[in-house]
Structure 1
Amino acid sequence: MGLFVHGDVGTAASYEPPYTLSSGESVRGGERRLWDNGAACGRRYRLRCLSGSNRPCKDGTVDVTVVDYCRKSPCPSTILLSTSAFSAISKSPSAKINAEYIQ
């Protein structure tokens, strides 16, 4: 696993299809701060699970591309991942995890 430098910490959860995918895994920038009025669209992030209830974390990271923002108010987490991206870093598909992410 690579070294994370200058990463941000937030929460991550998964969202159900339909997904908007160009290639690879998708992420919806959960908070408008991350979405940055659309400037984040196309940005790639690497995430890793830090903690959560019932020890949901898997070792490793997942690389994702921002394709949309969270349309729920309030958004359930900082970052919403497709279920396949979320399952790469969490053993529990319905968990809300603490995650570190870098661009």
Structure 2
Amino acid sequence: LICNTSFADVGTAARYGPPFLPTTCYGNDPTQFPSSNLFAAAGDGIWDNGASCGRQYLVRCISASEPGTCEPEQTIQIRIVDYALQLESTPSVSGTTIVLSETAFGTIANSTATLINVEFQQV
């Protein structure tokens, strides 16, 4: 479980791949991406009119429609670098809480999945 589940939210996550630039948050600046490649785009529910840019979240896969998709023991820390409705590439599913980079998604779930249910908490 993430730190304290009483403070965590539950939502959905999709994945996206390149091209990643430009982003809504930081334009064409390549230094916006963490070296771990654990980053994401915020969906409407957490976008907060752009205030979510740079926020860090702990994210964990809790379920998916396909059994065996989640790696529930894996929790990642991601950085918001973009807005899900203005991505340069198409996410695996539209309308999710968060859209994870392929690296981030593949760390907590089977990378062939398109949609997972996640627990997330701002840090």
Q: TM-score, normalised by structure 2?
A: 0.73
Match of residue 61 from structure 1: 75
Residues 10-47 of structure 1, C-alpha deviations (whole Å, 9 max, x = no match): 0001012122542142110022x311011000000010
Preserved contact between residue 102 and residue 111 of structure 2 (Cα < 8 Å): no
Give the fraction of aligned pairs with identical amino acids, expressed as a percent.
Answer: 40
The total of aligned residue pairs comes to 101
CA distance, structure 2, for counterparts of residue 2 and residue 70 of structure 1: 24
1:52 alignment partner AA? A
Larger Rg: 2
Structure 2: stretches of 5+ with no match in the other structure? 22-31, 87-92
Match of residue 14 from structure 1: 15
CA distance, structure 1, for counterparts of residue 95 and residue 108 of structure 2: 18
Structure 1: stretches of 5+ with no match in the other structure? none
CA distance, structure 2, for counterparts of residue 2 and residue 77 of structure 1: 20
2:47 alignment partner AA? W
Matches within 5 A, 1:24-43: 24=36, 25-31=38-44, 33-43=45-55
